[in-house]
Amino acid sequence: MVSSRLIVVFVLPVIFSIVFGTAVMADIVQKPDRELNMWPISNSEGSSSHGSDLKIIGLSSQYLVSEPIEVQVKVNDSSFNCGDLYVTIYTSVNKDVVTQGGFFNQCIENGTLFPINDKFSKVITIPGSYQMVADLVSNDLSNISTTGTFTVK
């Protein structure tokens, strides 16, 4: 009697979970064009989700292969006090991520440059056209973002 309850209570749920999970994963794997879009990013140059509240400072239109890309981000939104800054560089053609930098727990005042006492600095060694996206996520999970494009020769 105890062994049949043990099977019903403990073993059957495990078997059902494995069968259900396998069915769901098999369905997902069959869709090759699936896309996980957790952080939608605007693709237009110089766009911002709150007008001109965020601006990339120091981004040139052209860099040499050995030249570092050094930028800071200026915040003009007084509603953002503290948050995280993410700067990501994508290829312009495929939107593949080339490099990313994260600066966490940055507290600002209106007009302050991000990252505080630091700069985003990366060297890209492959010539081509690139897009830089700066996302500022506040502690209350609201965000603003802006983009810029540049070329590496």
Topology (CATH) of 54-152: Immunoglobulin-like (2.60.40)
> Using an 8 Å Cβ cutoff, are 140 and 51 in contact?
no
Give the pLDDT score at 46. Answer: 38
Domain boundaries, the chain: 1-34, 54-152
pLDDT of the residue at 45: 38
pLDDT for position 39: 54
Q: Please write the tens of the pLDDT for every residue from 46-87.
A: 334 444 578 899 999 999 998 999 998 888 777 778 888 899
How far apart, in Å, do the first and last CA atoms of the chain sit? 77
Token look-up 């060694």 returns: 125
Q: What is the pLDDT of residue 147?
A: 92
Distance CA 100, CA 97 (A): 8
Average pLDDT over residues 13-32: 86
Q: Percentage of the chain with pLDDT > 90?
A: 36
The overall pTM is greater than 0.85: no
Q: How many CB atoms lie within 10 A of CB 145?
A: 22
Lowest mean pLDDT among 9-18, 88-97, 102-111, 144-153: 102-111
Tokens of 88: 């990501």
Cα separation of 56 and 75, whole Å? 9
pLDDT tens profile 95-126 = 899 999 998 888 876 557 888 778 788 999 99
